[in-house]
Amino acid sequence: MELNKNDRRLLKALQRNARQTISQLARELDLSRTTVQKRLAQLESSGVIAGYKVKLGDRYAASTFQAYVNLVVDPHFSHSLAQALQRMPEVEALYTVSGKIDLVAIIRVSSPVELDNTLDRIGELEGVRDTDSAIVLSTRFDRR
């Protein structure tokens, strides 16, 4: 599906607040309700919109610790390692990347002790050769 200008505007509006009603979106974008409803249905059916989710607020983020964990892994264990990380509730996302590292895991925990324990558990997984982590201190902006 090729996106037009209004599709991109609709996606940006939904990224800011996916809980808006069709009427609110129509007013914001200066489009008819029918047009917004039709475009949303097409974006969903084509897979451009895969779902809607909760964006965590500053209050929640301030009460947790988020870290980016760079992993260098043995390629023979890549698949099983990804499965093991997926089973860990502290791991919010896992990305394959290019360069000297192989994977980046994003973790969120509620305390420094939990962060330390989670990093230890990740480092002990079979196939992990090396890790390097960075704790997120603040978020300047997040368009997701």
Report which residue type is found at 127: G
* 143 is a domain residue: no
Q: How far apart are the first and last CA of the chain?
A: 21
**Can you tell me the mean pLDDT for 124-144?**
90
| Predicted pLDDT at 77 | 95
pLDDT value of residue 6: 93
SS3 content of the chain, % helix, strand, coil (to 5): 45, 20, 35
Look up residue 60 and give its two tokens. Answer: 């929640």
Same domain, 62 and 97: yes
In a domain, 144, yes or no: no
> How many domains are there within the chain?
2
Give the domain range for residue 16. 5-45
Domain co-membership, 41 together with 77: no
100 and 36 in one domain?
A: no
Cα–Cα dist 105/96, whole Å: 9
Q: What is the pTM of this model?
A: 0.73
Q: Are residues 71 and 127 in the same domain?
A: yes
DSSP 54: P
